[in-house]
Amino acid sequence: MAVPLKAPAATPPDFDAAFRDRLDALFAWRRDVRCFRTTALDPAEYDALLAAACRAPSVGFSQPWRLVRVREAGRRAAIRAIFEAANSEALALQPAERAGLYARLKLAGLDDAPEHLAVFVEPEPETGHGLGRTTMPETIAYSAVLAIHTLWLAAAARGIGVGWVSILDPQAVAQALEVPAQWRLVGYLCIGYPAEASPVPELERAGWEQRRPLAALLVER
Amino acid sequence: MAVPLKAPAATPPDFDAAFRDRLDALFAWRRDVRCFRTTALDPAEYDALLAAACRAPSVGFSQPWRLVRVREAGRRAAIRAIFEAANSEALALQPAERAGLYARLKLAGLDDAPEHLAVFVEPEPETGHGLGRTTMPETIAYSAVLAIHTLWLAAAARGIGVGWVSILDPQAVAQALEVPAQWRLVGYLCIGYPAEASPVPELERAGWEQRRPLAALLVER
């Protein structure tokens, strides 16, 4: 279904200042998208996103990400119900002065996004032979996070939006999708053409949170 | 010390096919670097990497990454000792036929890389007000992983290599760096100009592991 990975060129590309400026712009404009147009994705572009995901780094080259393209209406309805249950609980945990804002934030593009991709991790892959994860086994899930992020950036470069839905019971999602018992959900992605573009996160625009200065996040030792 | 984030342009950039090709090349050539030249990084480029890291997405816009630039010789020696202890243990866990290969893989650029950056996560940041992580609290650490990956790509676009060292006791690293008690190590990065470039992962070149086809990693539901 998906295109194989193209063999890269034999000599390293020359990434010039113009490319770096555009890459910085890509980082700045890559949003967590919640409002999608329902237009179907171009199949070649969709395949390019999956190929990009598989270019991500992984601990011990273990490639532990497992991608589930969710297309069946019944499965999507089950995911929606799982989200609604978790969202109600999360809303109840917010103090009253924030709950109103929380309720207004459209937290999922589950209804409109033409593509749903559930990303799982295989926690004990044979691939990689365990290298690099003896003391920090969480790096295996981190590898799946890196695949999601690579896909996300490849999407943004194509004018395609990705929304990462984390307000979900991960075990319920695994059950609804009937994946192998040992797989663990890392992220559930809505993918489609965004209804709007902005260099400012939706949560910042909505007054939920502000960007922190680097000085507050950096120390020296 | 570090440059503030530049305000992005007011209109979305037009990412054209040429940019996308170069972005794909960036994904293909971004390596987990173990062999570094000892040349110091250009300070402006180093600052640009930290600024890029802070452009990463984060759950609830929580920005939970905490960056520790490790410069003191004593601290670096402590990290090296922590790596050596964990590496010996990991070596002992490999079957005999793999142990020789494992021992030959240069698993850390700790001695040569001019910059060391330890990336921690603040597991309970006030920022973000808990949004999005009620059911999947691991998304807070995932946000720090996304910061690492953003930095990694920004580095590769500048001809700068990053090596993620995970063969470490994370609590020992936290102690050696005297960080706040609640911070948890997500990744320890060696950063510097790489001694070589390749589109093929070192572990693949060394015969440790092969790339898996997308078809083996994708299912439909």
What range does the domain containing B46 cover? 32-209
DSSP symbol at A5: P
- Here the CATH number for the domain that contains residue A150 is 3.40.109.10
Q: What is the pLDDT of residue A11?
A: 76
Q: How far is CA B52 from CA A20, B66, B109, B115, in A?
A: 11, 14, 22, 16
**A14 pLDDT higher than 50:** yes
Chain B residues whose beta carbon lies within 8 Å of the beta carbon of residue A140:
none
Write the residue in A187, A208, A221 that is nearest to B177 by C-beta.
A221
Low-confidence ranges of chain B (pLDDT < 50): 1-4
Q: Which residue has the higher pLDDT, A158 or B6?
A: A158
Q: Give the C-alpha separation, B99 to B88, whole Å.
A: 11
Write the residue in A70, A127, A149 that is nearest to B146 by C-beta.
A149
Cβ distance of B131 and A93 shorter than 8 Å? no
pLDDT over 90, % of chain A: 69
Q: Give the C-alpha separation, B77 to B70, whole Å.
A: 11
Cβ neighbours, 10 Å, residue B219: 17
Tell me the mean pLDDT in the region A123-141. Answer: 88
DSSP symbol at B55: T
The Cα of A151 is separated from the nearest Cα of chain B by a number of Å equal to 10
Q: Give the C-alpha separation, B152 to B146, whole Å.
A: 10
The Cα of A37 is separated from the nearest Cα of chain B by a number of Å equal to 17
| Closest-CA residue to B15 (of A42, A11, A197, A41) | A197
In a domain, A19, yes or no: no
Tell me the mean pLDDT in the region A27-39. Answer: 93
Q: Is A56 exposed, middle or buried (0-12, 13-18, 19+ CB in 10 A)?
A: buried
The Cα of B117 is separated from the nearest Cα of chain A by a number of Å equal to 9
Q: What is the pLDDT of residue B179?
A: 97
Q: What is the pLDDT of residue B9?
A: 60
Residues A88-109: tens digit of each pLDDT:
888 888 888 777 777 777 667 8
Q: What is the pLDDT of residue A90?
A: 81
Chain B residues whose beta carbon lies within 8 Å of the beta carbon of residue A164:
57
Instruction: Tell me if ipTM is over 0.90.
Output: yes
Q: What residues have CB less than 8 Å from B211, skipping those under 6 apart?
A: A5, A54, A61, A63, B201, B204
Q: What is the pLDDT of residue A2?
A: 46
**A50 pLDDT higher than 50:** yes
B213 → chain A, closest CA residue: A4
Residue with tokens 């992020």: A149
Whether the CB-CB separation of A54 and B214 falls below 8 Å is answered with yes
Write the residue in B12, B48, B138 that is nearest to A197 by C-beta.
B12
The Cα of A109 is separated from the nearest Cα of chain B by a number of Å equal to 14
A91 → chain B, closest CA residue: B131
Chain A residues whose beta carbon lies within 8 Å of the beta carbon of residue B134:
86, 89-90, 93, 167
Q: Give the C-alpha separation, B191 to B136, whole Å.
A: 31
A152 → chain B, closest CA residue: B57
Write the residue in B65, B129, B201 that is nearest to A217 by C-beta.
B65
Q: What is the pLDDT of residue B2?
A: 46
In a domain, B148, yes or no: yes
Q: Which residue has the higher pLDDT, A87 or A73?
A: A73
**A79 pLDDT higher than 70:** yes
Q: What is the pLDDT of residue B106?
A: 67
Q: What is the pLDDT of residue A10?
A: 66
B174 → chain A, closest CA residue: A221
Range with lowest mean pLDDT among A9-23, A24-38, A112-126: A9-23
Q: Would you tell me the crossing angle of helices B17-29 and A17-29 to the nearest 10 degrees?
A: 90
Write the residue in A5, A60, A217 that is nearest to B66 by C-beta.
A217
Q: Give the C-alpha separation, A60 to B188, whole Å.
A: 15
pLDDT over 70, % of chain A: 93
Range with lowest mean pLDDT among A58-62, A126-130, A153-157, A196-200: A126-130
Cβ distance of A199 and B131 shorter than 8 Å? no
In a domain, A1, yes or no: no
> Can you give the pTM of this predicted structure?
0.93
Q: What is the pLDDT of residue A106?
A: 67
Q: Which residue has the higher pLDDT, B75 or A202?
A: B75
Q: Which residue has the higher pLDDT, A149 or B10?
A: A149
Cβ distance of A30 and B57 shorter than 8 Å? yes
Q: What is the pLDDT of residue A186?
A: 98
In a domain, B13, yes or no: no
Extract the tokens encoding B180. 């706040």
In a domain, B147, yes or no: yes
Cβ distance of A29 and B8 shorter than 8 Å? yes
Task: Mutate one of B98, B149, B198 to test the A interface: name it (highest A CB count within 10 A).
Answer: B149
> Which of the four pLDDT bands, split at 50, 70 and 90, describes residue A5?
low
B163 → chain A, closest CA residue: A57
The total number of structural domains in chain B stands at 1
CB-based contacts of A79-83 (< 8 A; 24+ apart in sequence): A79/A110, A79/A116, A79/A168, A79/A173, A79/A176, A79/A188, A80/A110, A80/A111, A82/A168, A82/A169, A82/A172, A82/A173, A82/A176, A83/A107, A83/A108, A83/A110, A83/A165, A83/A167, A83/A168
Whether the CB-CB separation of B181 and B99 falls below 8 Å is answered with no
Q: What is the pLDDT of residue B169?
A: 96
Chain B residues whose beta carbon lies within 8 Å of the beta carbon of residue A26:
13, 15, 23
The Cα of B158 is separated from the nearest Cα of chain A by a number of Å equal to 7
In a domain, A141, yes or no: yes
B218 → chain A, closest CA residue: A67
Q: What is the pLDDT of residue B198?
A: 84
